[in-house]
Chain A
Amino acid sequence: MSVDIIFKIAAIGILVSVLNHVLNRAGREEISMMVTLAGIVVVLLMVIDMISNLFNNIKSIFQLY
């Protein structure tokens, strides 16, 4: 389990917020919403993997079957 993933998520978040600002200034609100949604889904996919890993570990340690 590496700490890199925190910085990865932070980078994605900063990128998404900058793109959001730029697109809002250019008057493309609908595309900026799509960018936000895409960023959220990408990070969610990364986080869900870790959550399932953690839950599986806890399940096997505490004999929850």
Chain B
Amino acid sequence: MNMEALQIAGLGIVAAVIAVILKQQKLELGMYISITTGIIILMLLIGRLISVVDILNYIASRANVDSMHLSIVLKVIGIAYITEFGSQVCRDAGESAIASKIELGGKIIILSLTVPILAALIEVILQILP
């Protein structure tokens, strides 16, 4: 079960060697190696991620937290995950301008998701105030 750490480290080292060899010849094919390695490592970790999210859902349901709030938190984490992946791929290819635009897009989408919660908080505060 805990051998996954060794697996990931070995896979990363082998893929790094291959990527360095390919980048000398063809830069774009070396990029594909790094993208593929990233996807495979994330896929190895997705099973554990599912169990963690399940436990979070269980705890939230036991604590009577509104399921909307937890789903917004999960959405924010997912958007951060995807945009981080995309921006790192772009930065690896030397396109740091596109990478920062991807990050900006993710931040704006996260902001638009969290503004309703902020509005609800302000509503609560206005109700408490006389």
Contacts and interface: CB of A to CB of B under 8 A. Distances in A.
Interface of A: 1, 3, 5-7, 9-10, 12-14, 16-17, 20, 36, 39-40, 43-44, 47, 50-51, 53-55, 57-59, 61-64
Say whether chain A's binding surface is mostly helix, strand, loop, or mixed. helix
B26 A16 contact: yes
A62 B29 contact: no
B82 A61 contact: no
Interface of B: 11, 14-15, 18, 21-22, 25-26, 28-30, 32-33, 35-37, 39-40, 42-44, 46, 49-50, 53, 71, 74-75, 77-79, 81-82, 85
Contacts, number: 95
A57 B43 contact: yes
Given A17-B25, A54-B43, A61-B53, A9 B81 contact: no
Given A6-B18, A6-B33, A9-B36, A62 B78 contact: yes
